């Protein structure tokens, strides 16, 4: 069962992820010249969500005898 602290922690994590995604969308909507002036990485330099998930599953499992 979830306790109150788990719900609060989940809500904070969801809000932080939501704010980060909103900021990324806002930055990517700016003209490319302005993005470069700010130092925002080019879209090809940003790691995609699927790339992170694939990287997670691509790591070798270390089995101990």
pLDDT tens by residue, 7-39: 999 999 999 999 999 999 999 999 989 998 988
Task: Please check whether residue 14 lies inside any domain of the structure.
Answer: yes
42: domain range?
Answer: 4-58
Q: Is the pLDDT of residue 55 over 80?
A: no
The Cα-based distances of 37 to 3, 20, 27, 28, 34 in angstroms read 46, 20, 12, 13, 5
Task: Please check whether residue 64 lies inside any domain of the structure.
Answer: no
Confidence of residue 43 (pLDDT cuts 50, 70, 90): low
Task: Please check whether residue 34 lies inside any domain of the structure.
Answer: yes
| Count: domains in the chain | 1
pLDDT the model gives residue 48 = 59
Task: Please check whether residue 12 lies inside any domain of the structure.
Answer: yes
Q: What is the pTM of this model?
A: 0.53
């Amino acid at each position: 069962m979830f306790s109150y602290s788990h719900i609060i922690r989940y809500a904070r994590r969801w809000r932080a992820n939501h704010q980060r995604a909103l900021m990324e969308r806002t930055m990517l909507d700016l003209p490319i010249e302005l993005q470069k002036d700010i130092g925002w990485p080019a879209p090809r330099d940003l790691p995609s969500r699927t790339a992170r998930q694939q990287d997670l599953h691509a790591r070798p499992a270390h089995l101990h005898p």
